[in-house]
Amino acid sequence: MPLLFSGFFFSTLFIAAGKVRPLEVKIAAPHYPLNAGSRKQIICETTGSRPRAILSWWLDGKKIGAGTTDTVSDGGNLTVSTLHLVPTPNDDGKILSCRAENPAVPNSAIEDEWTIRVHYAPIISLALGASISPSNIKEGSDVYLECNIRANPWVSDVTWQFEDHYVVSNKSAGIIISNQTLVLQSVRREHRGRYRCLAGNSEGQSVSDYLHLLVQYAPVCKLSDPKVYGVARAEVVNVTCEVEADPPDVNFRWALNNTLEVVNLQKWWSEGSRSVLSYTPRTLAGYGLLLCWGNNVIGGQREPCVAKIIPAGKIEKVESEVRRKIEGIEEKIEVSKGEAQEKIGNLERRISELENRQNNFQTSPELMYVRSTVKYLRFDGQTSWADFKTQVNVISSTNGWTDLIKTSQLVASLRGSAAEVHQGIPPEKLTDLVTIENALESKFVDSHLTQFYRTELKTRRQKPGESLRILAADVERLMSLVYADYPLDVLC
């Protein structure tokens, strides 16, 4: 019975002839590869047969379909059969034959062959190395992933992805890519997840299915920070210990570390990767750190999970003390702000008086001489540069100084860290007023930072897992930055 071959369609044309065996049969095949999935006509011709020859198509020795129609011409001498071929990747390399036969002449069959070449996009599959059991991969094992590829033409590139992010070779991290193989040396639990490989050629880009890599590992604590329990004496508290592990069937043990000794505990129950301890501190020695370890078939937990047991009320007392401290600091700052504003007002009035004095006596030579006796305040960077600069401008204006005199007087007034500024100025610029003022402003003007720190102070809240001691220290730091010109004893 004829073989029905998927992807092939036939049209055969018949013309009658005489009783002579076929002399020749030839496949008019293209001289270039076919593209998978694209229809192509293949023609076979035979001559010399009388009556007409019967043409049939064969693929790797198996007959293709039935119901062909031959076209006969040249008085029955020429018979033509056309095969409509839709090749698949599996047809690449197979032998296509066209057979011509005169049924009236015994042993008259002759045939022509053509090797099919098919171009197709990569066909990819991803698998673990042959020697690796997917259910028996433990932390510390070496894992090989093989990207199996069929392609014509061959692929131009092979890439790898882990959780949809590209993977690159990193020998120091134990990740090696070699041709179609991805090597993971000493795998860790972080390597668990979905892998796939990608490859492309001139026919297209292909990607494999995901391979989900499982890595078995010993228990590790689910929470990184210790949980704190405030418990009264003789009070019962249930303390939970949760770990991550594969396999998740975990055995637990508990202990108390009170700095004097480590005591094993017994009253607990567990289910899977979770254990709950019922604990009652009865004496002062009953407070301290509760430690929990897990163990599965892979191994024991290296670092225990920790819970802190402290006397009830201690947390509330600390929180209350911190709140009281903050409120006291804010109250002192408000008082100091009022005092500072008063001092600023006095300074502004003094500046106004000096300016008025300059305007009233500007034409008196005697007073011009007297004005030169007004002296600078010294500037060491510990006070406000803006206030000092205002005083400099007023005194300079009052004395009628030129920029050169003003510059020399400004440099002479600098002390401490302020004096270090002009050391970084080129010698030819030491007499340039603008250069020196800009250098001082870049070092000591921080009004833009003050607003930033003020916003941080207003919105500062305790973060998850943050101790109150750290919170209080950070609040004091922000206050010292916001109110840098205030006396230190006000902020402490």
Q: How far apart are CA 492 and CA 489, in angstroms?
A: 5
Q: How much is the pLDDT for 11?
A: 43
What H or E segment, with its residue span, contains residue 122? strand 118-128
Residue 385: pLDDT band with limits 50, 70, 90: confident
Q: Provide the whole-model pTM.
A: 0.55
**Which long-range contacts link 261-268 to residues 24+ away (Cβ below 8 Å)?**
262/291, 265/290
Task: Say if residues 97 and 57 touch (Cβ distance below 8 Å).
Answer: yes
3-state helix, strand, coil in the chain (%, to 5): 30, 35, 35
Which three-class secondary structure state does DSSP give residue 436?
helix
Per-residue pLDDT at 362 exceeds 80: no
Q: What is the mean pLDDT of residues 472-480?
A: 72
Is 121-215 assigned to CATH 2.60.40.3140?
Answer: no
Q: Which helix (H) or strand (E) element contains residue 322?
A: helix 314-360
Average pLDDT on 397-422 reads 82
Provide the CATH number for the domain formed by 24-116 in this structure: 2.60.40.10
- 187: CB partners within 8 A, 6+ apart: 137, 139, 140, 141, 142, 143, 174, 213, 215
Q: Dihedral, CA atoms, 482, 490, 443, 450, nearest 10 degrees?
A: 10
Residue 67: pLDDT band by 50, 70, 90 thresholds? very low
DSSP code per residue over 334-362: HHHHHHHHHHHHHHHHHHHHHHHHHHHTT
pLDDT of residue 361: 40
Instruction: Give, for 477, the enclosing helix (H) or strand (E).
Output: helix 468-482
Q: Tokens 């007959």: give the residue.
A: 63
Query: pLDDT class for 491, splitting at 50, 70, 90?
Result: very low
Quote the pLDDT of residue 465.
76
User: Residue 269's pLDDT is what?
Assistant: 92
* Closest to 111 in 3D by CA, of 157, 44, 170, 43: 44
Say if residue 446 is exposed, middle or buried (CB neighbours under 10 Å; 0-12, 13-18, 19+): middle
Peptide bond into 153 cis (omega under 30): yes
Is it the case that residue 348 has pLDDT exceeding 70? no
Q: Quick one: pLDDT at residue 440?
A: 82
Q: By mean pLDDT, which of 72-76, 137-141, 302-306 is the weakest?
A: 72-76
Q: How far is CA 436 from the centre of its chain?
A: 46
Query: pLDDT band at residue 340, thresholds of 50, 70 and 90?
Result: low
The string of pLDDT tens digits covering residues 1-27 is 344 344 544 444 444 444 889 999 999
Task: Give me the chain's average pLDDT, please.
Answer: 81
Q: What is the pLDDT of residues 251-273, one digit of tens each?
A: 999 999 987 888 999 889 999 99
Residue 77: strand, helix, or coil: coil
Whether the bond into 426 is cis, omega within 30 of 0: no
Instruction: Tell which wins on pLDDT, 317 or 448.
Output: 317
pLDDT tens digits along 186-236 = 999 999 999 999 999 999 999 999 999 999 999 999 988 889 999 999 999
Provide the pLDDT for residue 382: 72
Residue range 220-311 in CATH 3.80.30.20: no
Position 407 confidence tier, pLDDT thresholds 50, 70, 90: confident
One-letter amino acid at 401 equals W
Task: Give the SS3 label for residue 233.
Answer: coil
Q: Over pLDDT 70: what percentage of the chain?
A: 78
Segment 454-482 shows an average pLDDT of: 74
